[in-house]
Amino acid sequence: MHLRQLNENTRFVLCRTGQRFKMLRREADKKNKTVYVVQLEGCVRESSLHHSCHVKPILKATPCY
């Protein structure tokens, strides 16, 4: 799966490094290109990743009753 396929507020693991991130939002930059704003788990600062990064979403397990 690629970063561009994730919804906002989705937690994911970057396949290349194993780091955990949260997808915050999509923004348009000055050239009207989409920028994917993410936040590294445990950090306050925001950064961006390339849209074609390979990621794995973190799915919450639901308990069976």
Nearest to 50, CA basis, from 65, 38, 59: 38
In a domain, 62, yes or no: no
- The pTM (predicted TM-score) of the whole model is 0.84
Structural domain includes residue 64: no
Provide the 10 A C-beta neighbour count for residue 53. 18
Structural domain range at position 20: 3-57
Q: Which residues of 10-49 are buried (b: 16+ CB within 10 A; e: fewer)?
A: bebbbeeeeeebbbbeeeeeeeeeeebebbeeeeeeeeeb
pLDDT at 62 over 90: no
Q: Is residue 65 part of a domain?
A: no
Could you tell me if residue 15 is inside a domain? yes
Amino acid at 31: K
User: CB-based contacts of 43: which residues, under 8 Å, 6+ apart?
Assistant: none
Instruction: Answer yes or no: is 63 within a domain.
Output: no
Q: Is residue 11 part of a domain?
A: yes
Q: How confident is the model over 14-23, as pLDDT tens digits? A: 999 999 999 9
Span 22-33, pLDDT tens digits: 999 999 988 999
Q: How many domains does the chain have?
A: 1
